[in-house]
Structure 1
Amino acid sequence: MSSDEDLTAGEEAADDDNGYVTFDMAGERYAFPMSRVQEIIRMPAVVKVPLGPPSLEGLANLRGRVLPVVSLRDCCDMEQAPHDETTRVIVVDGGVPLGFVVDRVASVISVDPAAMESGESVQSTVRSDVLVGVIKADGGDMTTILDVDRLVGSQFDHLASRAGSTDRAASSRPMSERDDADAELDDTLELVSFAVQGQEYALPIDQVQEIVQAPESISHVPNAGSRVLGVVDLRGRLLPVVSMRRVFGLQVTPLEPQNRIVVVSIDGGVVGVVMDTVREVLRVPHQLVAPLPGFMAGDGRRSEVESVCRLEDGKRLVSVLSVNRMFDSPEVRNEIAEHQGHDDPPQTDEEQSMADDGRGDEELFVVFRLDDEEYAVDVDTVQEIIRVPAALIRVPKSFDFVEGLVNLRGTVLPVVDLRTRLGLPRGERDERQRIVVLIIGGVRTGFIVDSVAEVARVGRQVLEPAPQLSAEQARLVSRVANLPEQKRMLLLVQVDQLLAAEQAAALEEAALIEAVPSDDLVAV
């Protein structure tokens, strides 16, 4: 059999009841019943999933479906082998689609029942409990038939049980915890901070729709005004883009990989603002925020800055901007509206209500990276995002994933290495790492991630339950955002499952012990 196309043609000649797909592993010939095989594909790119079974290679995108891909060699206790041009994935029906990686697909055959022998009397290098039987051929050759259900069940007890996973993904915290969190939100200002020519600014997070990486180039518009750099395609709609540097009257520089576009809403439409870099998500107590003195507005107009945050005992000042003041000129608003690129019909009351909350039929996530994979948590669960300090206070006899404690504006913050928590190897500390601060079980806890990528707005139609590959994985990674157009798959982490109740309690106790004033704690 020379190609996948030849295999497809051969399927027509095989009766499903007596047909088998044969393939090779470690020099031996095996088979799956044709009735269980959905299709055969080349080895796809996969997204690694933490806490899955050892045989799991990852999740792949199969024409918009999430496909778990597993190593059949590993399932059968065989030595692993590198993938090559002949490697194939046989997609079988195991309750939900599941792909088995094999060395090479041989052919599709029809078998005379008389040429088959029960697997009970067969001894092989493969575990006997996954054998169905043996196909005997002329010349003494034999093909071992494998039991699809037992292979799936031996590695993935939870794979076929997807009921209720969406409910788990939407599970809520206890009412007392929600009340505490709501009270804290009322007393804090949530901001997204960014840098422009070395100075730090911020926008209220409720004015930010999403944050995306700047493309390599922006399509310039003929006769565009002074503010609009051009337009970019954002999931099928034209987004006018302006430069924050130009808003501030600074020299506009060429786009670089660290540049980000912050998408904000203004009267008359949506606009993307190019920032030099996006730094952190901040949650700042209102007592640390002061309005900008009136005398500082110049040139006969109101300043874009509406207030200033005093952080780190006043050593770090962050200017909070107002979107409305940034684009307060009618000429600028009209100029932006001209480049929206669409002529929407009037909104219904329901559509207007959905638009008012800024999300509509979408969810907002903070996206971060561990190794080469992208994870995400609901933006509402993120308290703030901070840099990793140079040193942390170690906690003796704690969990192996606990890195230590830091002083976060007078509050002791336990810090967890998320790599270790998810069963990944620890990484070296670098400048890109961040601490994502979450509240779990009423305890504020920081999780070290390799980097924070963006705040992404994801349509609910691309969210689906993650395959339940193991009990712990199913609890932690409850959903995936499948984005085939972007060649991305986001693993959505269930925040309230990151720490068990006893682990959260232990971290709270450690934080209370260290909550006394101490010169040893490191201020962030």
Structure 2
Amino acid sequence: MSDLDERETSAPEPDGLSVVEADDAGSADYVTFDMDGERYAFPMDRVQEIIRMPDLVRVPLGPASLEGLANLRGRVLPVVSLRSCCALADAEHDETTRVIVVDGGVPLGFVVDRVASVVSVDREAVEPADTVQATVNSDILVGVIKSGGEEMTTILDVDRLVGTQFALLARHRGAGDSRTAATAADEGASDDLADTLELVSFTVDGQEYALPIDRVQEIVQAPEEVSRIPNAGRNVLGVMDLRGRLLPVLSMRRVFGLEVTPLEPRNRIVVVSLGGESVVGVVMDTVREVLRVPHDLVAALPDVVGTAGRATEVESVCRLDDGKRLVSVLSIDRMFDSATQAELAAHLDGFEAEETTEGEPQMDIADDGRGDEELFVVFRLDEEEYAVDVDAVQEIIRVPESLIRVPKTYEFVEGLVNLRGTVLPVVDLRTRLGLERSERDDRQRIVVLIIGGVRTGFVVDSVAEVARVAKSVLEPAPELSAEQASLVTRVANLPEQQRMLMLVQADQLLAAEQAQALSKVTSKPALAAA
């Protein structure tokens, strides 16, 4: 395949096998790799590409072999442990770990210890699997390549691997042909990205600007206020807590010498990288879109303009819509030089984070004109982000100091709470989704939903924001297990923010019999009077 990275196939070859560039009529190509000290292979025509171990988003209630979901150039890629599929012992990932992306009806990534080479083998040198003994289940073997000595390369069956581990995924192979064709088109289109400039555009005081997407780490909604830093630079509004770390927040309006307006729900904070681990959040009026602009539509700022005051922060201009739309591309390094970074570091040193907002996220949904967007409440569990439709959320409350315990009930039921005269069952969502239970802390919240007609509270690690998500970035979640497929139905893939939101179907959080059992508990007079 054209996407196969040649650097991944430069390792020493098995004895007696040679890497070739073309396939003969009497030979077949294989990608060979190592696991647990043994050598295995996939047929080359099933391999789409080989990548390094990506960042993963863990999926609740998925198969044991599922390591998580990755973002592969805008596509959601399920990544699974091939060791687990082959009943081998787990191993830590290291710099040699690779993911082999195969065509299993839909793209699927298998984690292997090390990729060895691409080899061409005489078809007569492949012995059927039933004639040899192997260390893995023979049901997933195609055959074995013998290379003269005692060394053998075991060929694994991609279809059986997918079918045995992911039955639901295997059902979609019929539709997979069209997906594969679309994927091929996407692969070709990705080659064109080398000739484009990728940007995140935003507006300040009605003017459109952009930053290089590789310097943008994420985009978050602006809080109601930020904690101020005494004697900070004039451009610094203060600091905010971003998932447990202090983020200095600057105003782009101040950078541009404009009047600073109070923070509003439409404002967004663009978190940009200053190099190394240093990041800063910049308040924008609004964030517009991700742009991919051909280089021939990007022009450097003329020298006569670039020497005039603050305009040096603009390094180029994009001419869009036949020149009717001009987007100024800003330079992060010019905006935040070493002196500015040192000043920020000095002010942050020793500063302790404070809670910047009180109460819960404001769910102002009076404007129903959502158009091509959907509105979600985003919450976190075990460092992953989930989302539920805002219309399903009744309210968000703090976790009380104590709950009324319920004997002989489900393990995930934390207890009951009296919410303004109504008995509310409280479920630990971590336990319900098979995650490890955590200690209570001040960040946790109860998200109140209606499940099967019963008002039910779900304890989450924290509530992040109420986010508008474009329908164009919503896609069906891979169906990897029956329970997971009914609970996590869609994924919001946000590569420009380096985020992936798993969209939870609220009415699937409890089974019908579970909701009915909780309804009986809350209807008991003694509890209602508590």
Which band: TM-score by shorter chain?
Answer: 0.5 to 0.7
For 2:365 and 2:410, the matched residues in 1 are separated by 44
Q: Which residue of structure 1 aligns with residue 481 of structure 2?
A: 470
Q: How much has 1:12 moved relative to structure 2? A: 3.8
Q: 1:14 to 1:257 in 2, by over 3 A?
A: farther
Deviation of 1:366 (Å)? 0.3
Give how far 1:358 is off: 3.1
Structure 1 Cα separation of the partners of residues 159 and 86 of structure 2: 14
Which residue is equivalent to 1:389? 400
Find the residue that maps to 1:394 and give its secondary structure: coil
71, 94, 97: which one aligns with 2:104: 94
- Aligned match of 1:107 in 117, 122, 147? 117
Cα deviation for residue 235 of structure 1 reads: 4.3
User: Which residue identity does 2:44 align to in structure 1?
Assistant: M
Alignment of 1:335-346 (within 5 A): none
Inter-partner Cα distance in structure 2 for 1:322 and 1:114: 67
Q: CA deviation at 1:257?
A: 11
Within a 5 Å distance, the mapping from 1:388-467 to structure 2 comes to: 388-467=399-478
**Which of the residues 509, 512, 516 maps onto 2:523?**
512
Structure 1 residue 259, shift from structure 2 partner: 9.4
**Matches of 1:129 and 1:437, distance apart in 2:** 47
Residue type of the alignment partner of 1:217: L
Q: TM-score, normalised by structure 2?
A: 0.66
Measure, in 1, the Cα distance between the counterparts of 2:20 and 2:288: 39
1:218 aligns with 2:251: yes
Q: 1:55-103, CA deviations, whole angstroms, 9 ceiling, x for partnerless residues?
A: 1100000000000000000100101110111100000011100000000
Instruction: Give me the whole-angstrom Cα distance separating, in 1, the residues matched to 2:376 and 2:353.
Output: 20
Return closer, same or farther for 1:124/1:484 CA change in 2, 3 Å cut-off.
Answer: same
Match of 1:135 in 2: 145
Q: CA deviation at 1:389?
A: 0.4
Query: Residue 493 of structure 1 aligns to which amino acid in structure 2?
Result: V
Question: Secondary structure of the residue that 2:45 maps to in structure 1?
Answer: helix
- For the 8 Å contact 1:72–1:100, the answer to whether it is kept is yes
Query: What's the CA shift string for 1:14-44, capped at 9, x where partnerless?
Result: 4697110000001111000011111000010
Give matches, 1:22-421, under 5 Å. Answer: 22-161=32-171, 216-221=249-254, 222-225=256-259, 227=261, 231-232=284-285, 234-236=287-289, 276-277=356-357, 279-280=359-360, 357-421=368-432
Q: CA deviation at 1:439?
A: 0.4
1:162–1:467 contact (8 Å) kept in structure 2: no
Please give the secondary structure, in 2, of the residue aligned with 1:49: coil
Deviations 1:336-395 (A, max 9, x none): xxxxxxxxxxxxxxxxxxxx7331101010000001100000000000000000111111
Shift of 1:234: 1.9
How far has the Cα of 1:218 moved from its partner?
2.0
- The alignment-based identity, stated in percent, is 68
Shift of 1:223: 4.9
Cα 1:390–1:282, aligned 2, differ >3 Å: closer, same or farther?
farther
Q: Is the 8 A contact 1:195 1:278 kept in 2?
A: no
Given that residues 160 and 468 in structure 1 are in contact (C-alpha distance below 8 angstroms), is that contact kept between their aligned partners in structure 2? no
Q: Which residue of 1 aligns with 2:6?
A: 5
Stretches of structure 2 lacking an aligned partner (at least 5 in a row): 11-18, 176-222, 228-240, 264-282, 291-326, 328-346
Matched residue type, 2:468: R
Structure 2 counterpart SS, 1:430: coil
Unaligned runs of 5+ in 1: 166-193, 199-211, 239-253, 261-275, 284-320, 324-355
Distance in 2 between the 1:23 and 1:163 partners?
Answer: 25
Q: Structure 1, residues 448-481: CA drift from partner, whole Å, max 9, x if none?
A: 0000000011111110010001000000011110
How far off is 1:277 after superposition?
1.5
| Contact in 1 for aligned 2:126/2:146 (Cα 8 Å) | yes
Inter-CA distance 438–517: structure 2 relative to 1 (3 Å threshold):
closer
Aligned partner of 1:245 in structure 2 is none
Contact 1:364 1:379 in 2 (8 A): yes
- Report if aligned partners of 1:282, 1:383 keep a CA contact under 8 Å in 2: no
Whole-angstrom CA distance in 1 between matches of 2:515 and 2:132: 51
| Cα offsets for 1:276-312 (capped at 9, x unmatched) | 42632589xxxxxxxxxxxxxxxxxxxxxxxxxxxxx
1: distance between equivalents of 2:446 and 2:174? 31
Distance 2:260 2:123 in 1: 79
Provide TM-score, normalisation by structure 1: 0.66
Question: Following the alignment from structure 2 to structure 1, what is the Cα–Cα distance between the partners of residues 33 and 260?
Answer: 64
Q: Which residue of 2 aligns with 1:169?
A: none
Q: CA deviation at 1:410?
A: 0.4
Letter in 1 for 2:284: V
